[in-house]
């Protein structure tokens, strides 16, 4: 469960333009 959350957060950060 924790791993999925981390992956989701990373994907959101990558998808979000800086």
Task: Kindly state the tokens that stand for 17.
Answer: 């333009």
> b/e map of 1-18 (b: 16 or more CB within 10 Å)?
eeeeeeeeeeeeeeeeee
Identify the pLDDT of residue 1. 63
End-to-end CA distance of the chain: 27
pLDDT of 18 reads 64
Predicted TM-score (pTM) of the model is: 0.11
For the chain, 18 residues long, give each residue's pLDDT as a single digit of tens: 678 887 877 787 777 776
């Amino acid at each position: 469960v924790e791993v999925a959350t981390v992956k989701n957060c990373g994907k959101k950060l990558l998808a979000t333009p800086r």
